[in-house]
Chains A and B, each alone.
Chain A
Amino acid sequence: MGDELLNLTIDGVRVSVPKGTLVIEAAKQAGVLVPHYCYHPGLPVAGLCRMCLVEIEKAPKLQIACATQAAEGMVVRTQSPQAKSGRMGVLELLLINHPLDCPICDQAGECELQDFTFQEGRPATRYSPHYAKRFNPVEDFGPDVLYVPNRCILCTRCVRFMEDVAKEPVLNVSERGDRAYIGIHSEGRLDHPWAGNVVDLCPVGSLLSKDFLHKARAWELDKTASICTGCSQGCNVTLDTRENVIVRVRPRSNLEVNRFFICDHGRMNYRWMNRGDRIEAPLVRRGGELHATDWDEALDFVASRMRGAGGRAVALVSPRVSTEALFFARELFRGLEWSGAFQVVMGEEAPLAGVPNLALRAERAPNASGAELLGYSREYAAAVATAETAAVVLVLDEPDIAVRTAGALIYVGTVLPERARDAQAVLPIANVAEEEGTYVNRDGRVQRYFQAKSAPGMARPAWWVFSELVTALSGGPGGHVGTAAEAFDRLAASVEAFRGLSYAQLGFGGAPTPVATVVPA
C-alpha cells in the first residue's frame, strides 16, 4: 500500500490505482462493475464463487478480479469471449439448484443473481426438467433472520461476516460438495446485535429479514439517504419508503463511520417514524383552550408572548432533532437569560468487534454532540427545576417531559403528550424522515439526512419554525430561511464549531467539525 500509483487498462480505459488495489476495485474506477457474489469490500476475500472471472493479458488462464492485485501495465478484459463464457458458466451452475421463485422472493428486484443473469446469463437452463433441484427446508436462524437454503449460492458472505467482522462465528458451511448449506449449531442462535447485516450481505434471497418478510417488492421502494437515530454513532442509512411509509432501514456505506453495516437496534428503530397520532396543525391557547390555527397566527402568537417576556428562558430539547433546529431555537432566546438542556436515554453498548470505532453506543441519541456544540447542557434535571420559575419554557419534542412552569410553555413537537395540553402554544414539526437536516455524531462528524416522506398536515421542519420566529422577533438579520441548506449555512456562519462547513460540501458522506469543542454559550 502507500502512495505508489499503478497504471493499468481495463476494457480499454486507463486507470491509476494505489498499489495493493484489487482488480475488481480498480475496475470500478474504469466504470466497470465486474459481476461477483462472494466478494464484498467489507469482508475478507474468499475467491470462491468464481463469478468475477476476467481475462488478464499474459495470464495463462482466466483470473478472478477479486483476488488479483492490480499491477503496472496490466491489461484487463472483462468482456472478452472467454471471460464472458466463463462467467456465463458460473451463472448457469449457480442457477441449476436455485428455485424459480422470484415472484415470491423478497430479494427480487434487488437480487444480484437476477441482475447478473439478466446481464450475461444463458437464456435457458440445460439442467431442468431432467434433474431435481436440491431441497432443504427453511430454517429459523435468529430473532430477525430466516434461512432459505434452496436459494443459497454458498458465497459465504454471512459466514465471513459473523466470523471476521462480528467475531462470533455462529454460522458455518456444513457438509461439502453440492450437499453443502449454511449451518448453525442446534443450540446456537443468530442473535448477535449486528446479525441483521447478513440479510443485507446476502446477494440472493437466502437470508431474509422477518421484519421485512413479504412486506414490499423492491421496485416499489423509494430510497432516501438518512442517518440512523438509534444512537450517537451516526451510522449512515437508507430509508426505504413505500407509499409514504418507512418499511425498512438498511445501511448506507460510509467508510468513516459505519463502513457497510448497521446494528439491529438501528435497523428496527423506524416504526415511530410512521406514527399516525401526529399533531397536524399549530395550536394556540385562547380562552383557556388550545385551538387549531394556521402558521401565520401561531407564529404571531408565540412571537408576541416572547416579545413581552422578561427574565429567564429555558429550553428543554430532544437530542434527536436537527442541528439547525437546535441552532435557531438557541437564536430565539438570544438576549435573554437562557439555559438549554437535553437528556440522553442510555442503553447497553454493543460494539462490532471487527471494525474499530463502530458500536451501538450506550448514548441512544443521534445529535447529543450537536446539542453540546450549540451550548445545550446535560444538566437536564437542573434545567427542569429552573423551568418552574422561568418566564418562557420551550420544550422541543420531548413528549415524556415532566415540566411545571409559572411562565409561558411553548411545546414544539411531533405528537401531543398529555402534559403539553397546558402549553400556550403547540407547534407541529416534521420528524427525521420528513425533513432535511444534519446531526453531529459522537466523533464530531456533521452528517446530512434527507427527506424520505411527507410530513402530516401542516407540520414543518423545526428549523423552519424557529427561524420564522427568529425573523418575526428580530426583523431577521438574514431574512427568511427557505431551505435546510440556508439554515445550515446560517449556523455555520455564526457558530465557531461549524465554521467553514457548507451544506453542499457535507454531501452524502458528511464532514468533521473543524472545532470539535463546545462553544461558550
Chain B
Amino acid sequence: MSVGAHPTPQPGTEEYQPVFVGKALEQLGEILTRYPTRQAALLPALWLVQQARGWISDRNMAEVAEVLGLTPAYVKGVVTFYTMYHQHPVGRHFVQVCTTSPCNICGAEAVVKAFLDATGAKELGATSPDGKWTVIEVECLGACGFATPVLINDDFIESVTPDKVSDLVRKYK
C-alpha cells in the first residue's frame, strides 16, 4: 500500500487574500437574506469566489466555510459534486462543448476538435501554452435543437459548426 493524497493544488506561499471583503461581502450579505439558513448561500457564495478568482482553491473553500459556519470538508464535498466549479486553475477563456448524443449525431466531435486546434489547447482539459484557453467536453447543455451549443465563459453560443470556430476564437483574443 502506498500512502498518498488526492491531488490538490499546493497552496501558495503568499498570504491568503480573502474573497469576502468589500463588494463581495456586501453581495453575500444580500444573498443571505434570501434563505432561512446560512448554508443555503453556499452555491451562490462559491459562484462569487469563482467569479473573483477564476477557480476555487482549498483555501477558498476554507474561507467560504468560515463565512457560512460550515466545515471546509463539507464545502469541498459540495464543490466536487458540481462540475461547473473549477477545482484547478483554467485558461482565461473556458470553452465547454456539448457532446451528448443529440449533439454528437450532429457533429459535435468535429466542433471539439476545431476548438482544440484553433485555441492551441490541443488536449481536452489542458490549458493552451499562452494560458488563454481551456476546452472541455460537457454533457448536455440543454440546447439540443441548436447543435452544437458551446459555452465560452458565460456566453452561450448556439449552432456552432467547425467552420465558425476560428472566428469565435479570434473574437475572444
Interface residue count for B (Cβ, 8 Å)? 23
Chain B residues in 8 Å Cβ range of A174: 6, 76-77, 80
- Would A175 and B74 count as touching, CB distance under 8 A? no
- List residues of A (148-162) whose CB comes within 8 Å of B's CBs: 148
- List residues of B (1-54) whose CB comes within 8 Å of A's CBs: 1-6, 8, 11
- Does B120 sit within 8 A of A, measured CB to CB? no
The 8 A CB mask of A146-185 against B (1 = contact, 0 = none) is: 1010000000000000010000111111111000010111
- List residues of A (124-164) whose CB comes within 8 Å of B's CBs: 136-140, 146, 148, 163
- Would A138 and B77 count as touching, CB distance under 8 A? no
> A79 to chain B: closest CB distance in Å?
37
The 8 A CB mask of A68-97 against B (1 = contact, 0 = none) is: 000000000000000000000000000000
- Would B81 and A188 count as touching, CB distance under 8 A? no
Report the separation of the CA atoms of residues A181 and B81 in the bound assembly, to the nearest whole angstrom: 11
Chain A residues in 8 Å Cβ range of B75: 185
- Would A188 and B6 count as touching, CB distance under 8 A? no
> A512 to chain B: closest CB distance in Å?
38
Chain B residues in 8 Å Cβ range of A188: 71-73
- Does B62 sit within 8 A of A, measured CB to CB? yes
Q: Whose C-beta in chain B lies nearest to the C-beta of A148?
A: B1
Chain B residues in 8 Å Cβ range of A181: 6
- Would B1 and A176 count as touching, CB distance under 8 A? no
- Would B62 and A187 count as touching, CB distance under 8 A? yes
- Does A186 sit within 8 A of B, measured CB to CB? yes
- Would A137 and B4 count as touching, CB distance under 8 A? yes
Complex A-B: 5 CB contacts under 8 Å: A139-B5, A163-B74, A171-B73, A174-B76, A184-B73
Q: Which B residues contact A (CB, under 8 angstroms)?
A: 1-6, 8, 11, 58-59, 61-62, 70-78, 80-81
8 Å CB contact of A176 from B4, B8, B11, B81: B81
- Would B5 and A185 count as touching, CB distance under 8 A? no
- Would A173 and B77 count as touching, CB distance under 8 A? yes
Chain B residues in 8 Å Cβ range of A137: 2-5
- Would A169 and B71 count as touching, CB distance under 8 A? yes
8 Å CB contact of A183 from B11, B59, B80: B80
> A140 to chain B: closest CB distance in Å?
6
> A143 to chain B: closest CB distance in Å?
14
Report the separation of the CA atoms of residues A181 and B8 in the bound assembly, to the nearest whole angstrom: 15
Report the separation of the CA atoms of residues A146 and B1 in the bound assembly, to the nearest whole angstrom: 11
- Would A172 and B74 count as touching, CB distance under 8 A? yes
Report the separation of the CA atoms of residues A184 and B4 in the bound assembly, to the nearest whole angstrom: 13
Interface centre among A146, A148, A172, A173 (most CB of B within 10 A): A172
Interface centre among A173, A176, A188 (most CB of B within 10 A): A188
> A214 to chain B: closest CB distance in Å?
10
Interface centre among B5, B8, B75 (most CB of A within 10 A): B5
| A138 and B3 in contact, given A172-B77, A185-B76 (Cβ under 8 angstroms) | yes
Q: Whose C-beta in chain B lies nearest to the C-beta of A184?
A: B73
Chain B residues in 8 Å Cβ range of A140: 3, 5
Chain B residues in 8 Å Cβ range of A186: 5, 8, 11, 58
Q: Whose C-beta in chain A lies nearest to the C-beta of B82?
A: A176
Report the separation of the CA atoms of residues A187 and B73 in the bound assembly, to the nearest whole angstrom: 9
Chain A residues in 8 Å Cβ range of B1: 138, 148
The 8 A CB mask of A27-59 against B (1 = contact, 0 = none) is: 000000000000000000000000000000000
8 Å CB contact of A139 from B3, B11, B76, B78: B3
> B80 to chain A: closest CB distance in Å?
4
Q: Whose C-beta in chain A lies nearest to the C-beta of B74?
A: A169
Chain A residues in 8 Å Cβ range of B8: 186
Chain B residues in 8 Å Cβ range of A185: 58, 61-62, 71-73, 75-76
Report the separation of the CA atoms of residues A140 and B3 in the bound assembly, to the nearest whole angstrom: 7
Chain A residues in 8 Å Cβ range of B81: 175-176
Report the separation of the CA atoms of residues A181 and B4 in the bound assembly, to the nearest whole angstrom: 14
> B73 to chain A: closest CB distance in Å?
4
- Would A183 and B58 count as touching, CB distance under 8 A? no
Chain A residues in 8 Å Cβ range of B71: 168-170, 185, 188
Report the separation of the CA atoms of residues A185 and B71 in the bound assembly, to the nearest whole angstrom: 9
- Would A172 and B4 count as touching, CB distance under 8 A? no
Report the separation of the CA atoms of residues A139 and B5 in the bound assembly, to the nearest whole angstrom: 6
Q: Whose C-beta in chain A lies nearest to the C-beta of B5?
A: A139
> B8 to chain A: closest CB distance in Å?
5
Chain B residues in 8 Å Cβ range of A148: 1
Chain A residues in 8 Å Cβ range of B62: 185, 187
- Would A183 and B6 count as touching, CB distance under 8 A? yes
A-B pairs, 6 with minimum CB distance: A172-B77, A137-B4, A185-B72, A185-B73, A174-B80, A186-B58
Chain B residues in 8 Å Cβ range of A173: 77
Q: Whose C-beta in chain A lies nearest to the C-beta of B62?
A: A187
- List residues of A (346-396) whose CB comes within 8 Å of B's CBs: none
Report the separation of the CA atoms of residues A187 and B1 in the bound assembly, to the nearest whole angstrom: 23
Report the separation of the CA atoms of residues A173 and B79 in the bound assembly, to the nearest whole angstrom: 11
Report the separation of the CA atoms of residues A175 and B79 in the bound assembly, to the nearest whole angstrom: 8
Report the separation of the CA atoms of residues A380 and B29 in the bound assembly, to the nearest whole angstrom: 58
- Would A136 and B73 count as touching, CB distance under 8 A? no
Q: Whose C-beta in chain A lies nearest to the C-beta of B10?
A: A186
